[in-house]
Amino acid sequence: MMMTALGGSSRGPAGLDTLFARSGLRRIRTLPMPGFASIVEAAATDRTGAAGGGTARMLRRMEIRSASDEDWPNVYPFYSVIMAEGRTYAYPEAQTLGEARAWWMEQPPGRTVVAVEDGAIVGSAKMGPNRPGRGSHIGTASFLVDPAHQGKGIGRALGEHVIEWSRAEGFHGITFNAVVETNGPAVHLWTSLGFEVIGTVPDAFDHPEHGLVGLHVMYRRL
C-alpha cells in the first residue's frame, strides 16, 4: 500500500488540545467504541472561563469508525477533488466512482475508516500492512480530509486512530512511503505524531506548481 499524506492542519505539536485551545475549545475525551471505533468530544466554556465558574457546553462530537460499502459514495466527492488538485497523491486522475473504489476501500487485512461529524463524512483513512509476507509486520496508511473541513484537527484525529489501531494489531512500526516534500502541513503533522523522515526520493513527484519535487519516506516505531 503506498502512502501519501494529505494532512488536516496539525496546528502545533501539542495536538488536538492545542488546536482546540486556540479556538476557545478543550478536548473532553476520546471514547473507545466497539470494532475499534472512537468518538472525539470537544467543548467550549463561556467568557468567565472554567476557573471563574464558566459552564462547559458541547460543540463538537466526531466519530471515527470502520467504513461500509454505503459510505464510499460520500467519500468519493472529496477523494476526486483531492486527486484532481494533484498536490498530494500519485493516483490516477479523473477516476469514476467505481474505478476509484478499489484504490481507497481496503479489504482485510487492511481497513478503511471514516470520520463523521454531524452525520456527514468529513475525512477518511486506510491502513494495513505495508508489504505482504515478511514485510507485513510494518504498517502503512493514507489519509483524506474534506477540503471544506480542513483546519479542524480531523487529520490529526485520524492519525492518532491509525497509530492506536496499528499498535493493537501488533505492527512493529508504521511507514509512510510517499509524503510529498512540499506538503508542509502533512510533514509537520506526522513529525508531531512521532514520525521522522528517513529518506527522500528526489524528483519523484510532478507537482502542478513546483514541478519535480521529492517524496519523503517517514517512519514511526510502535
The CATH code of the domain that includes 173 is 3.40.630.30
> Which residue range is the domain that position 84 belongs to?
64-221
SS (H, E, C) 159-190: HHHHHHHHHHCCCCEEEEEEEECCCHHHHHHH
Residue 3 within any structural domain of the chain: no
Q: What is residue 147's predicted lDDT score, i.e. its pLDDT? A: 96
Within 13 Å and on the Cβ side, how many CA atoms surround 4?
19
Residue 50 within any structural domain of the chain: no
Residue 97 within any structural domain of the chain: yes
Question: What domain count does the chain have?
Answer: 1
Whole-number Å distance between alpha carbons of 97 and 200 = 32
Q: What is residue 61's predicted lDDT score, i.e. its pLDDT? A: 85
pLDDT in 10s for each residue of the chain, 222 residues: 433 334 333 333 344 444 444 444 444 455 555 566 667 655 444 444 444 444 444 356 899 999 999 999 999 999 999 999 999 999 999 999 999 999 999 999 999 999 999 999 999 999 999 999 999 999 999 999 999 999 999 999 999 999 999 999 999 999 999 999 999 999 999 999 999 999 999 999 999 999 999 999 999 999
Q: What is residue 18's predicted lDDT score, i.e. its pLDDT? A: 43
Residue 171 within any structural domain of the chain: yes
Residue 27 within any structural domain of the chain: no
Residue 87 within any structural domain of the chain: yes
End-to-end CA gap in the chain: 19
Whole-number Å distance between alpha carbons of 12 and 150 = 14
Residue 23 within any structural domain of the chain: no
Give the residues across from 126 on adjacent strands. 112, 142
Residue 51 within any structural domain of the chain: no
Q: At what angle do helices 154-168 and 184-192 cross, to 10 degrees?
A: 50
Whole-number Å distance between alpha carbons of 84 and 95 = 9
